[in-house]
Structure 1
Amino acid sequence: MSQFLRDIKISNVNVTEQMLQAINEFLAGKMSSTNKAIDAQGISEQEKSEQRLDLFYVIRFDNRGYRLYDPQEAFRFYQQASEVERVIFTLDSIQSERTNRMYGTFCELRFDANDPNNCIIQVSSDDGDAVDSMYNGLLEIISKSKSLSGWARTAWTQLLVQILGVASGFVLSLIAAIKISPYLKIDNNFVLSFIFAFLIFSNAWGFINQQILSLINYSFPNIRFSREGKSSFNWLTQAVVGGLFVALFLFFFGQIMGWVGSILGAFIVGR
């Protein structure tokens, strides 16, 4: 059974083509040196065949996925894809695959744009030095492409959105009450109008809050696949869309409150 295992969750990485090339060259070099060492051992050809490492790639894009052994083909898919969802590097042996990774050497690096929990480095082997070498080498390459998305993907961000949202709802409800109250010929018309508007906003805020947080997570992803000519200004586009959404909501909220006020006023006067 493999004696040494190291793993870590990957977060806040800007995955570039240059970084993927560096990872591929690093793992290909480890595969070559390990296989040469295995071939030099005094064991049978069957044992050598089972212990030799193979490097393969999994890429999922545009709702389809491929498992490939040719790095050039994998990079071609990566460059041509409309949207890359997942990239996986796997260094494995027949022995490891046959024993469900309980024996032998394996190394896996996963980048997943949709699932932060599926972004990991995992290395296991009977040789502790080999584990440390592969693990630390991959971390060193990835650390050069760290992003600042982590600053926007915290519980403090959610708290800030919640506070600003409730404050905005309060102000909007005051504005709506100013529009509605003149139509209501009843006592405490402003207070009742404010309560009505704030209840409407409170029920809508749950949905709006989810959309704002989704927009933040999309604009500041845990893993961003950056490709020349296809990823530029993506964050700006999302920010513009989000701003338009908020502006439209504010406009229609004010218009609807004014319309509701006129309807209620006509109804009450009619009574």
Structure 2
Amino acid sequence: MAKYLRDEHLKNITINEQSLELVNSFLIERGISINREIEQANGSKDDILLLTYVIRFDNRGYKLTDFNDVKKYFSQANKVERIIFTLDSNTSERTNRMYGTHYEIRFDSIDPNNTYIQVASDDGDAVDAVFSGLKEIINKGKNKNGHIRNTWSQLLVQIFGVAVGFLISLIAGLEASPHLNIENSFVITFLFAFLVFSNAWGFINQQLLRFLDFAFPNVRFVQPNKNSLHWLAQALVGGLVVAFTLLIISGIFEWVGKILGQFVAN
């Protein structure tokens, strides 16, 4: 088994063609350097490293050995799902990575847990050098999606949803109660509307969180000439959310103030 291993999940990164080229160039240089050392030392051919790629897009995937093919598919794809760089030795591939050297970096726009760097080798210095080099490249593409992809955003969505549900239920009670000839018609109508909303909120909340995950993904693939409308839509959605939030909050305070004023007056 390889003696040294370093791995780390990657979060909130933007990947474009230049990022892919930097990763590819770095791994090619490492592979050439290591293979040259192995040849000079007359080492086993099983220790020779081979660089391969996997790209998955539009519900299909390819395993490739030519980076130009990766770039071609990357630019042509409607939706890039996953890109993997793997620099493996024959020993590592044959033993399912139990032994030998392997360097791998994965970018997955669907599953955040499948986005990581993993470096393993018998040479500790090589592991540290490759890991640090890949991290330096990836850190250049760090974005600010982490401000949205956190538990605080989930809390805000929950509070926002409850506030909206309360407001809708309040309006429903005020509008419907005058037409009901029953005692405590406002309270009954309000509770009924709020109960209906509460049952629907679980589904609505999931859809809102899925939308946030789509709009602010853990890995964003930026393809040539295919992302300007996406950024415009994201900015538009952000502006609408802020404006709508301020409107709802203002409405809530206005309605609550009127209701409390009526009770105080009585």
TM-score after normalising by structure 1: 0.85
Q: CA deviation at 1:235?
A: 4.8
Alpha-carbon distance in structure 2 between the residues aligned to 1:42 and 1:166: 69
Alpha-carbon distance in structure 1 between the residues aligned to 2:95 and 2:86: 16
Q: How many residues align?
A: 241
- Give 1:2's aligned residue: 2
- Give 1:153's aligned residue: 149
- Give 2:216's aligned residue: 220
- Give 2:81's aligned residue: 85
- Give 2:195's aligned residue: 199
User: Is the alpha carbon distance of 1:6 and 1:35 closer, same or farther for their aligned partners in structure 2, counting shifts above 3 Å?
Assistant: same
1:22-37 → structure 2 map (5 Å cutoff): 22-37=22-37
Q: CA deviation at 1:237?
A: 3.0
Alpha-carbon distance in structure 2 between the residues aligned to 1:216 and 1:126: 42
Alpha-carbon distance in structure 2 between the residues aligned to 1:232 and 1:134: 34
Q: CA deviation at 1:101?
A: 1.1
Q: Deviations over 1:177-225 (max 9, x none)?
A: 1111121011111111111111111111111111111111111100000
233-242 or 214-223, which deviates more: 233-242
- Give 2:130's aligned residue: 134
- Give 1:182's aligned residue: 178
Extract unaligned runs of 5+ from structure 1.
248-271
Out of 33, 56, 59, the position equivalent to 1:60 is 56
- Give 1:39's aligned residue: 39
Aligned-partner SS, 2:141? coil
Alpha-carbon distance in structure 1 between the residues aligned to 2:37 and 2:110: 38
Which letter does structure 2 place at the counterpart of 1:183?
A: H
Q: CA deviation at 1:21?
A: 0.5
Which letter does structure 1 place at the counterpart of 2:42?
A: G
Out of 120, 143, 162, the position equivalent to 1:166 is 162
Q: CA deviation at 1:233?
A: 3.1
RMSD of equivalent CA atoms = 1.7
State whether structure 2 residue 70 is matched by structure 1 residue 74. Answer: yes
- Give 2:258's aligned residue: none
Q: Deviations over 1:47-106 (max 9, x none)?
A: 2x2111000100000000000000001110111001000000000011111111122111
Which letter does structure 1 place at the counterpart of 2:15?
A: V
Query: How many percent of aligned residue pairs carry the same amino acid?
Result: 54
